[in-house]
């Protein structure tokens, strides 16, 4: 299994960011072919301050080939265009092989 990780810095307008993210971007991303699981993580500071990074999305796929094919699909390209338009300056994308141990 592999995952694509989107790591977001704290946006200037959190409410506008979350509205677009939840109502526009993630519905686009969830249409990507071969997507197996999505995990959204909202960071917090244990001392009560503002956490940065702000949010992390993890999108899981069966293989590297499946992930890259999904990114190149029409649905993947639509999601990528939207990402650049609303969060291009605050997001970094990473790719990882996943090893899981359950205890």
46-59 pLDDT, tens digit each: 888 888 999 999 99
The CATH number linked to 63 is: 3.30.70.100
Q: Write down the pTM of the prediction.
A: 0.92
pLDDT at 71: 98
Is residue 103 included in any domain, yes or no?
A: no
Q: Tell me the pLDDT band of 86, cut-offs 50, 70 and 90.
A: very high
Residues 68 and 95: their CA atoms lie apart, in Å, by 10
Is residue 12 included in any domain, yes or no?
A: yes
Q: Residue 15: give the domain boundaries.
A: 2-97
Is residue 102 included in any domain, yes or no?
A: no
Give the strands of the sheet with 91-97, arranged side by side.
37-42, 55-61, 2-8, 91-97
Number of domains making up the chain: 1
30-81 pLDDT, tens digit each: 999 999 999 999 999 988 888 899 999 999 999 999 999 999 999 999 999 9
Is residue 40 included in any domain, yes or no?
A: yes
């Amino acid at each position: 299994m592999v995952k694509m990780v989107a790591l977001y810095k704290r946006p200037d307008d959190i409410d506008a960011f979350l509205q677009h993210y939840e109502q526009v971007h993630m519905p686009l991303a969830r249409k990507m072919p071969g997507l197996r699981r999505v995990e959204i993580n909202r960071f917090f500071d244990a001392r009560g301050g503002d956490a940065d990074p702000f949010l992390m999305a993890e999108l899981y796929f069966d293989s590297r080939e499946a992930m890259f094919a999904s990114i190149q699909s029409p649905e993947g390209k639509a999601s990528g265009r939207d990402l650049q338009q609303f969060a291009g300056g605050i997001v970094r994308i990473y790719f990882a092989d996943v090893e899981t141990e359950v205890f």
